[in-house]
Structure formats: structure tokens, C-alpha cells
Amino acid sequence: MPTDNIEEIKSKVDVVDLVQEYIQIKPAGTNNFKANCPFHHEKTPSFMVSRDKQIWHCFGCGEGGDIFSFVMKMEGLEFPEALRVLAKKAGVELQYRDPALNNQKTKLQDICRYAAEFYHKILIDHPKAQPVRDYLKKRQVKDDTVETWMIGFAPDAWETLHDFLIKKGFAEEDIFLAGLTVKKERGSGYYDRFRNRLVFPVRDPHGTIVGFGGRWLGPEKAEAAKYVNSPQTLIYDKSYILYGYDLAKQAIKQEKLAVVVEGYMDCIASHQAGVENVVASSGTALTLGQVKLIKRMTTNVAFAFDQDIAGDTASRRGIEVAWQEEMNTKVIRIAGAKDPDELVKKGAELWRQAITGAQSVMDYYFTSVLGKVNLKKVEDKKSAAKTLLGVIAKLADRIEQTHYLQKLSTALNVPEDVLRDTLNKVKVRPGASAAELPPSAQLRDRFTTIGESLVGMAMQFPSLLPKIVDQLPLEYLTDVKLQNLYKRLIVFYTEKQTFDYETFVKALPEEDKNSLTYAEILSLRATHDFPDPDPDVLDVEVRIGIRELKKRHVQAELKSIERSMRQAESKGDTVEAEAQGHKFSELASELQRLEE
């Protein structure tokens, strides 16, 4: 039964371990952890994960939930896909009979898996694949490497894969949507996209195959591109996938460094040589999504591009994206070989040394740009300044910026403030503007937040309960959900004359799931706000909080009295108007006292 599956998965996947695979978290009290929220831009952590409660919540943007909602939100998945991801993690066999647990995306994933197995099997034992096996041997690709990366061979034919998948029961249209076939230009029908190619399955961060890259194996000819890749599909979002990431992520975390190479073979050769913190960008500029994948594991990234980066706009753009995310970026120089694959073959040690010797991108730019100009010529000086200032402007860190301005000033023999003037003209400031914040963070009612904080404190630090219950009447809270929870809290406490959180939560009625989740979130919030609670601090917080809510309550009262007063006046009811006026002035002076 699917619900059993879900419960089983929940019991096997710990929310803290799960979140840790995506973002870096720090302990905050017993069994709680905090982090900068992955769902909104922030500098101080308001994202909390609780091991006891098995929930996560952000007090900045209000997002929160369990392991399923975390994976869905983090990866942009629908429930059925998130279920697969977590089932795999939990080692739980899913019961697929329930159609609700399959969707279009999981169907395309199945098609890709069958296709990969098909290509792989052909490479392993089909007689026609002998030249391909020879080719791999020549390139020193070992058998278990072929296995690990599920490398395959697409035979030189038009419909082999298509027919195989149809026999497996998949619809023609779905095979096309998985990116494996191409529509015939004339007539109807489809033909295989990959023909006579070495095929590299591309996997998402969980190891699910979502697309393919195919390297041409025949003689060089104009109509056959060296590489053919799957198109963007429902499951293959190229800007969120790095080749090899699923196999590299643990090593990246351990080494605290991600190495980005260009080609599939560079990546595979490096892994085979035991250097596993390596992923391939497949030759395009690194996207924000890809940088974020890396950032889950480390903030250090080193690029090994085949070309001179300073002259190559695609690699430069990728580096700038990494900077925006405040990553430490370096460049690996490949000396004496055309690419990492070749360098690894000359000796894994050489490749390791190249990685260790990686230069900071800025130093690399300086060497590269200044190496090409004659600084005695004004024109050269100007162009070098322009190029390098353009890059310095993109640095997110001010201190770093100043450092390189000084360096440039020395190198060009131009005063620093002249350079800084020019810099300010080209400057594009990174970082979040108010418009980028989620609307919930902007619109969040300050008073609801205060009320939530008080109720959370009452549950988390029961010694405060008598005072809160005594001085915070229900009507001071305007949010219905919060009122409802607080009502239950008052009733519970008044009945028992004592309070403990566990019993309270257990006593919440089954049908009131909202209050349960809400209670968990609010008490978690209190532990977040007050990691080591000092009774005096708590006392002050409660007093200020209640006073703020009371002020708001009195102000609202005043408005309503004012309305009644006007109404009475317009009806000519002077007695009533006077009575209201009296009430008004009494309350107004109370408000004044509160504001003192």
C-alpha cells in the first residue's frame, strides 16, 4: 500500500541527514540544526531542521514541512518523483500499481532507464560493437568503468531502440518526449536520435538517468556532429544537471572542492584514476542551477577548461555565476596535454598536481591579460584596465575587490582612485533586492510574528505560561489559526494547571492536523530564537511582545469607538456619542501609557 510505503520511507530517511545533502547546516541546541534558507536570500540563518520532530521550517519566508516537501521544493519535483527519490534513499521497494504514484515524468525516467540498459547491453556483448570495445580499450577505459557509467553503444540503424521500447510497451509519443527519437520530416513516425554513437547516460543528482550524450564513432564527415545530446525534456533540465555529479558528490564534500571539466571522457578518466571530486559541464557555460548543485557540497570550485578562459566568454560567464553565489573559484592549468583526459593518461599524479596548483581566477586573469599586452603603450594599458576592471566589478566581496584594485594599480602604474572611479562606472551590484524576496517574507504581518513568538515561547518554556495566559487575552491575536492554537493551549493549561509539550501535542484532536504542525513549528521557532534561554531575557521578551499586541489591540478599539461615535452623532444621539467619547479618551490615555 502506498501509505505504508510513505510511512516506511519516513521512518528510514532522517530529515537532518536529508537536508544535509543539500545545504550546510549547523547544530543549534540538542537535535536541532540551522542554516541559511535555501528558498530565500538571507545572510543570517532562519532555516531550522528538527531531528526530534522530523520537520524543517524557515522563519524568514515561512516555508516548511517534512522530507517529502523538502525534496519537492528543493528539486522542483511533483510528489510521485519525490517519492521515488526518497524510496531509493530509504531502500524501500515501491508498489507501482497505484497510478497516482506514477506520472509523465516517472514514465520518461523508465524509458530512459530501459534505453540505457539496451545501449549498454549492445556495447558489452553484441558482435557489431567489437570496434567500439576496441576503441574503449585503446582509450584505456576499464570494464568496470564502462559498468559504473553505464556507457553504451547505439548501433548504426534507424529504428532499433524505437522498436525495442515499443516492444517494452511504451508509447511512440512518450519515447519521443524522452528525447530518444526524432520526428520524421516526411511522412509520419520517428527514428532513433542516436546512431553509430558511443552513448553516455546523463544522470540527475540522485543517479536517475534523464538524458544521453552520444559521441560519433564513424569517420569524420560534415553531416555528423561530433556530439549529439538529448534535447531539453520534461525530466532533463540541462541547467540543473552536471555530468557525474551523482558519483562525485560525496568526494566533493570530503575534498571540499569540486573540479569542473568539459568533456564526459575527462570526467570519466579522472574518476577511473581515483580523483572523484570531478564533474563535467559538457562544454557550456556553468548555469546558476549547476553552481547551486555544487554549492550543496562545497563553496570551492576549480575549473579545468581546454581553452584560455580570459578569451572564452562561455567559461567566463560560468565563473561569474559562481562569483555571484560567492564561491571561491580557481583555474587549473593543464600543461603538456590538450585536456584532463590526456593528462590523466600521462599520469594520475600529474592531474592531481594540476588540481593542487590551481590558481585563483583573478590571478589567472591578471597573468593572462597582462601577459598579452605591452604596458608601455597607452592603448594596451587602457584595454588591459578595461578587461580587468570589468572582472573586478563582478566580485561580490568588497575586500577582495579592493585587493585586486591595488594589484591592478601597481601593475599598470595608475593611481588606485582613478581605477576606482572607472570601476564605479562599470559596476553591477550582485545580491538580492527587495523585489527578489518571496512575497510572504515582505508581507508577513509583524504582529502575527510577535503573537507566534509568544505562543511558541509559552509551549517551549512552560515557566512563562502563567504570565502569558494571564496577560495575553485571546483577542489580542488576530490570526485565526494562531487564535485556535492558543485557545487549545489555554484550555489545556487551565484544566491541568501544568504543562508539558509532549502531552499537549498528543492531546490535540486528530482532525486538527493544522494545530499540530503549527505547534511544532512555533515551538521550534522558540528554540531557534532563544538557543540558551536566560529567564530575564525571556521575561523582557514576553513583556515587550504582549505590550506590542496590546497597543495594536487598543488602537483598533479606538478606531472602532471613533466610528460608533460618528454614527451616534449623525443620528443625533448625543448621549450615546458622549458615552463613546468618554470611552475613547480613557482608552487613548491607556495607549499613551503603553507608548511611554
- Does the protein bind Zn ion through residue 23 (CB under 5 A)? no
- Does the protein bind Zn ion through residue 58 (CB under 5 A)? yes
Question: What is the sign, positive or negative, of the torsion defined by CA atoms of 517, 519, 523, 525?
Answer: positive
| Complex with Zn ion: residue 58 or 408, whichever CB lies closer | 58
| Complex with Zn ion: residue 40 or 249, whichever CB lies closer | 40
- Does the protein bind Zn ion through residue 60 (CB under 5 A)? yes
- What does the DSSP assignment read for 519-537? HHHHHHHHHHH-SS--HHH
Site mask for Zn ion (CB under 5 A), range 210-229, x = bound: --------------------
Cβ atoms < 10 Å from Cβ of 347: 12
From 37, 209, 389, 459, residue interacting with Zn ion (rule: CB under 5 A): 37
Q: Cβ-count burial of 411 within 10 angstroms (0-12 exposed, 13-18 middle, 19+ buried)?
A: middle
| Complex with Zn ion: residue 73 or 345, whichever CB lies closer | 73
Backbone angles phi, psi at 577, to 5 degrees: -60, -40
Closest approach of Cβ 435 to Zn ion, in Å?
16
Q: How far apart are CA 150 and CA 267, in angstroms?
A: 14
Chain centre distance of CA 270: 26
| 138: helix, strand or coil | helix
Residue list 405-464, contact with Zn ion (CB under 5 A): none
| 243 touches 264 (CB < 8 A) | yes
From 15, 61, 388, 565, residue interacting with Zn ion (rule: CB under 5 A): 61
Closest approach of Cβ 39 to Zn ion, in Å?
5
| 232 touches 275 (CB < 8 A) | no
| Complex with Zn ion: residue 288 or 393, whichever CB lies closer | 288
- Does the protein bind Zn ion through residue 72 (CB under 5 A)? no
Q: What amino acid occupies position 430?
A: P
Chain centre distance of CA 573: 64
Count of residues that interact with Zn ion, criterion CB under 5 A: 6
| Complex with Zn ion: residue 39 or 158, whichever CB lies closer | 39
Pick the closest to residue 194 from 223, 227, 167, 220 (CA basis): 227
Q: How far apart are CA 232 and CA 179, in angstroms?
A: 8
- Does the protein bind Zn ion through residue 39 (CB under 5 A)? yes
Among 61-69, 307-315, 382-390, 455-463, the segment contacting Zn ion (CB under 5 A): 61-69
Contacts 24+ apart (CB under 8 A), 344-347: 344/266, 344/269, 344/270, 344/272, 344/273, 344/275, 345/140, 345/269
| 336 touches 62 (CB < 8 A) | no
| 542 touches 464 (CB < 8 A) | yes
| Complex with Zn ion: residue 60 or 340, whichever CB lies closer | 60
Closest approach of Cβ 36 to Zn ion, in Å?
9
Closest approach of Cβ 518 to Zn ion, in Å?
17
| Complex with Zn ion: residue 61 or 248, whichever CB lies closer | 61
Closest approach of Cβ 58 to Zn ion, in Å?
3
Q: What amino acid occupies position 322?
A: A
Q: How far apart are CA 453 and CA 393, in angstroms?
A: 42
Tell me which residue has cell 509520419: 188
Among 35-43, 264-272, 452-460, 560-568, the segment contacting Zn ion (CB under 5 A): 35-43
From 5, 33, 40, 249, residue interacting with Zn ion (rule: CB under 5 A): 40
Among 29-37, 167-175, 220-228, 379-387, the segment contacting Zn ion (CB under 5 A): 29-37
Q: What amino acid occupies position 49?
A: V
Among 52-60, 143-151, 286-294, 518-526, the segment contacting Zn ion (CB under 5 A): 52-60
Q: How far apart are CA 118 and CA 136, in angstroms?
A: 18
Closest approach of Cβ 421 to Zn ion, in Å?
38
| Complex with Zn ion: residue 42 or 276, whichever CB lies closer | 42
| Complex with Zn ion: residue 50 or 229, whichever CB lies closer | 50
Closest approach of Cβ 57 to Zn ion, in Å?
9
| Complex with Zn ion: residue 62 or 462, whichever CB lies closer | 62
Closest approach of Cβ 30 to Zn ion, in Å?
23
Binding residues for Zn ion, per CB under 5 A? 37, 39-40, 58, 60-61
